[in-house]
């Protein structure tokens, strides 16, 4: 299924007093990576909101396994892949490489969410637009 | 084993354009909660570094399952528990409650890390200090 | 004018490899402090959005002067004060104390913002609700 | 003096419920920009720490004026410039452009900091290495 790769340089402010990346920062990078994966497929977050009337693609379940630490100045490659699509949920994996080595593996299950018709403060899962499914399946 | 609870108010800057918490922020809260759990047991991060000569307690594996969203102004309770201790690794769970309801469950495996004797830029797992084990087991 | 004080403990993840607070974190604390100041006056961000129909209180101009560094475990006190109110803008100062010593001084000019009537994607300054002015002036 | 430009795409997680950039994020971008400016001049943060024995370049005084808001998907250009160098402090300005328009102006005064000889927990200003001065003056 659809894959995107991008290179990210670890910055000073990504790191903690142990001089390695403060791990919540990786989840920020993964969230960015999923957005950029969608954008690479032709579906920006702005489109998701304005064209498809959704609120976002909130996280339902995520896991990350950390094998190799990184520090400021390091370049990493994040490879993000749509693994599966259901009616309104989907799975993404992120593999982080530091040079050739697999440094982190992360897994996400997200849903497409719209506003609940009875209460706009609540979210409600929404079905995948057909053209997104087609693009992710064949792209 | 050792448990700590704390109340946190979600702030404006914790939330994203969908008006719910940007999920990487929860991992920041969980990292704080693990530190505060250690501090409540008598082992501050400053002690971990200065008294025990460790570099930190880096994350090896973490997972979070999100059931109920929260927005700015909401108060949540984070209940953090040391689940198990091995020679140099340990498991923590965080349960987030929004009023009475279980909103998030998170799982962490971390290690105690020191500097590698051959290369101070690398980390190396370190054994649990005896008094920490005793405290967490009986606390 | 209206003043609020709160105590904040610096966390591990607030600090950078120099082992002091990564300064953008202070701006997060100041943004939280301004929200909490409003909430203490009876105007939560949820009220600002829902009751008064505003989008937020975006920053126009901010400055911070850093005198004394802090590290994880330190407790600081943030004292926040509404200094002046104009038609749709206002000034806030934050003084950070580490024990008795003045550690940081910060200055903010913000506006009350609503949606632009011709283009909801744009923001437009909005006048201060009368009851807010009264409260901040006399509170 | 030395100038560097870089393009940054605003991400979903940079934005708050008003759907514009949460302003502390800009200070993170500016901190990254100053590091990248130094790296472009041949002085990475790793060099600053390892080769020159410094702890970092902490902020002393910073100000930002916000003229035009940005939202997720927007590309901005950050132009960063060393404005002046004294014995151990220096000034940087950042200009943010959204398309052709000046969106933000930011000002920084930082110092070069080393460990205090009497107390490694404290920082102490350090003189600029000669080769950095030469590079920034003529680069």
- pLDDT tens for A2-37 read 999 999 999 999 999 999 999 999 999 999 999 999
* Nearest residue of chain B to residue D20 (CA atoms): B17
Residues of B in contact with D72 (CB under 8 A): 17
Which letter does DSSP use for residue C60 in this model? E
Q: In the prediction, which pLDDT does B94 show? A: 98
Residues of A in contact with C71 (CB under 8 A): 17
Q: Are C47 and C39 in contact (CB under 8 A)?
A: no
Q: Given phi > 0 = left and psi -120 to 50 = alpha, else beta, which region is C2?
A: beta
Q: Are D38 and D48 in contact (CB under 8 A)?
A: yes
Segments in chain B below pLDDT 50: none
Which letter does DSSP use for residue C88 in this model? S
Which of the residues B19, B21, B22, B24 would you substitute to probe the A interface, choosing the one with the greatest number of A C-beta atoms within 10 Å?
B24
Q: In chain D, what percentage of residues exceed pLDDT 70?
A: 99
Chains that touch D (3 or more CB pairs under 8 A): A, B, C
- CB nearest D23 (choices: C17, C18, C27): C27
**pTM of the full structure:** 0.97
Q: In the prediction, which pLDDT does D139 show? A: 67
Which letter does DSSP use for residue A56 in this model? B
pLDDT tens for residues D1-50? Answer: 799 999 999 999 999 999 999 999 999 999 999 999 999 999 999 999 99
Q: In the prediction, which pLDDT does D138 show? A: 81
Q: In the prediction, which pLDDT does A121 show? A: 76
Look up tokens 């953008």; give the residue. Answer: C24
Chains that touch C (3 or more CB pairs under 8 A): A, B, D
Beta-strand ranges (E) seen in chain B are 3-9, 59-66, 75-85, 89-98, 101-111, 113-116, 119-125
Q: In the prediction, which pLDDT does A139 show? A: 67
Alpha helices, DSSP H, located in C1-139: 24-40, 45-50, 130-138
- CB nearest D11 (choices: A11, A12, A35): A35
pLDDT tens for residues C44-91? Answer: 999 999 999 999 999 999 999 999 999 999 999 999 999 999 999 999
Contact C61 D59 (CB under 8 A): no
Q: If you average pLDDT over every residue of chain C, what do you get?
A: 95
Q: Are B63 and B83 in contact (CB under 8 A)?
A: no
- State the Cα–Cα distance between residues C94 and C76, nearest whole angstrom: 12
Among the listed residues A71, A73, A67, the one whose alpha carbon sits nearest the alpha carbon of residue A100: A67
CB pairs < 8 Å spanning B and D: 26
Q: In the prediction, which pLDDT does D20 show? A: 96
Q: Kindly list the residues of chain C whose beta carbon comes within 8 Å of any beta carbon in chain D.
A: 16-20, 22-25, 27-28, 31, 49, 55-56, 58-66, 69, 71, 113, 121, 123
Contact D66 C55 (CB under 8 A): no
- CB nearest C72 (choices: A12, A17, A19): A17
Contacts of A21 (CB under 8 A, 6+ apart): A10, A14, A15, A69, A70, A71
Residues of C in contact with A24 (CB under 8 A): 13
Q: In the prediction, which pLDDT does C46 show? A: 95
Q: If you average pLDDT over every residue of chain A, what do you get?
A: 95
- State the Cα–Cα distance between residues B118 and B131, nearest whole angstrom: 27
Q: In the prediction, which pLDDT does B139 show? A: 66
Is C139 a residue whose pLDDT tops 90? no
Q: Are B109 and B62 in contact (CB under 8 A)?
A: yes
Which of the residues B11, B17, B121 would you substitute to probe the D interface, choosing the one with the greatest number of D C-beta atoms within 10 Å?
B17
Contact D12 A28 (CB under 8 A): no
pLDDT tens for residues C82-138? Answer: 999 999 999 999 999 999 999 999 999 999 999 888 887 788 999 999 999 999 988
Among the listed residues C83, D110, D2, A15, the one whose alpha carbon sits nearest the alpha carbon of residue B123: A15
- CB nearest C13 (choices: B31, B44, B72): B31
Contact B31 C44 (CB under 8 A): no
CA-based angle D63:D132:D41, to the nearest 5? 75
Beta-strand ranges (E) seen in chain C are 3-9, 59-66, 75-85, 89-98, 101-111, 113-116, 119-125
Q: In the prediction, which pLDDT does C74 show? A: 98
Contact C13 A15 (CB under 8 A): no
Q: In the prediction, which pLDDT does C119 show? A: 85
pLDDT tens for residues A95-129? Answer: 999 999 999 999 999 999 998 888 877 889 999 99
């Amino acid at each position: 299924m659809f894959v995107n790769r991008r290179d990210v340089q670890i910055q000073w402010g990504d790191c903690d007093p142990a001089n390695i990346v403060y791990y919540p920062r990786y989840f920020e990078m993964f969230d960015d990576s999923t957005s950029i994966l969608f954008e690479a497929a032709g579906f920006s977050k702005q489109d998701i909101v304005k064209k498809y009337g959704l609120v976002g693609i909130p996280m339902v379940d995520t896991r990350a396994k950390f094998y190799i630490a990184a520090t400021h100045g390091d370049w990493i490659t994040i490879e993000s892949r749509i693994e599966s699509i259901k009616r309104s949920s989907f799975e993404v994996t992120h593999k982080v490489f530091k040079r050739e080595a697999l440094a982190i593996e992360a897994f996400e299950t997200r849903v497409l969410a719209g506003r609940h018709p009875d209460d706009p403060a609540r979210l409600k899962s929404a079905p995948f637009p057909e053209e997104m499914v087609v693009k992710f399946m064949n792209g």
